[in-house]
Amino acid sequence: MNAPKVGIIGGTNGMGRWLADLLAEAGCDVQVTGRKTEMTAAAAAAICKVVVVSVPIAATAEVIREVGPLLGPEQIFMDLTSLKKEPVELMLRHSRAEVVGCHPLFGPAVADPAGLNIVLCAGRGTAGFVWIKTLFEKAGYSVWERSPEEHDRLMAVIQGLNHLNTIALGLAVSASGIAPEDIARFATPVFKAKMELAGKVFGNNPGLYAEIIARNPDIEDMLKLYTQAVKNVGEALAEGGSDALRGLIESAAPALFTGRHGKGGA
């Protein structure tokens, strides 16, 4: 398949725009739609070989249901959603097209693709899958194939648990009553780095993080693991102070890292 015409629903911004730029650079004719563009999703579906959905997670199911039935078996239906089980199932159910689920594991501002990973989920057919995999790899990204279930389980930890932790940190810091000016003035480098991460979740696009967490099918398990971990820390401190806490940290370390880790710092 050589430089097909691609329609990106939600291509005016964010990840859709990232893909639009990448595909245009690869020589594809790219049409983008948003809520205010002249080109509609239905019009893009009528003229494009490949149709990609990259709208906010809360709007994704509705867009797939609307566009899917307009696509024929010779077309390719793809999405960039941060979760994969539900959108891939919906693309399969509501269209006869080839289906490829895609999740770039990074945000839209890419300076250098080296070291950046993309997960692809094969839904139906092979031509679209091979085309987009080859295109991403040629551009310098690393591509990994996983089932939608495997992807969502991984993301329950890598995004769900991770962002839950950031939210819990932010809520606890906020409840501590310490003024933001004092937090900024007295922060150690480690705390500064953590508050910068918290700034992404609390400042930028809280809806994206809330959707990524709330819609992950495995999030309940992660929440249980997380609350149990906090409970274990509390119990260790109450029962054995620093020795018990150190024991808890040491017992978990081998399962966390592949090699030795650096010296501690506050």
Q: Which residues bind ligand NAP (CB under 6 A)?
A: 9-16, 34-36, 54-57, 59-60, 63, 80-82, 103-104, 107-108, 208
C-alpha span between 138 and 26 (Å, rounded): 9
Least distance between ligand NAP and beta carbon 137 (Å): 18
Which residue, 35 or 246, is less far from ligand NAP as judged by CB?
35
Which residue, 106 or 226, is less far from ligand NAP as judged by CB?
106
Closest CA to 121 of 91, 104, 100, 106: 100
Which residue, 15 or 91, is less far from ligand NAP as judged by CB?
15
78, 51 Cβ separation under 8 angstroms:
yes
Least distance between ligand NAP and beta carbon 13 (Å): 4
For residue 142, report the phi and psi dihedrals to the nearest 5 degrees: -95, 130
Which residue, 62 or 235, is less far from ligand NAP as judged by CB?
62
Which residue, 86 or 236, is less far from ligand NAP as judged by CB?
86
Least distance between ligand NAP and beta carbon 51 (Å): 13
Least distance between ligand NAP and beta carbon 35 (Å): 3
Least distance between ligand NAP and beta carbon 10 (Å): 3
Give 106-115 contacts, CB < 8 A, sequence gap 24+. Answer: 107/15, 108/14, 108/15, 108/17, 108/18, 110/18, 112/140, 113/139, 113/140, 113/141, 114/140, 115/142
What angle separates helix 162-176 from helix 206-214, to the nearest 10 degrees? 120
Question: What is the number of the residue whose Cβ is closest to ligand NAP?
Answer: 14
Strand runs (DSSP E) across the chain, as ranges? 5-9, 29-33, 50-53, 76-79, 98-104, 117-124, 142-145
Closest CA to 53 of 110, 2, 14: 14
Phi-psi region of 177 (alpha: psi -120 to 50; beta: other; left: phi over 0): left
Which residue, 15 or 76, is less far from ligand NAP as judged by CB?
15
Q: What is the DSSP string of 51-84?
A: EEE-S-HHHHHHHHHHHGGG--TTSEEEE--S--
Which residue, 92 or 116, is less far from ligand NAP as judged by CB?
116
Least distance between ligand NAP and beta carbon 183 (Å): 26
Least distance between ligand NAP and beta carbon 254 (Å): 31
User: For the chain, how many helices (H) and strands (E)?
Assistant: 11, 7
Least distance between ligand NAP and beta carbon 2 (Å): 26
Which residue, 63 or 76, is less far from ligand NAP as judged by CB?
63
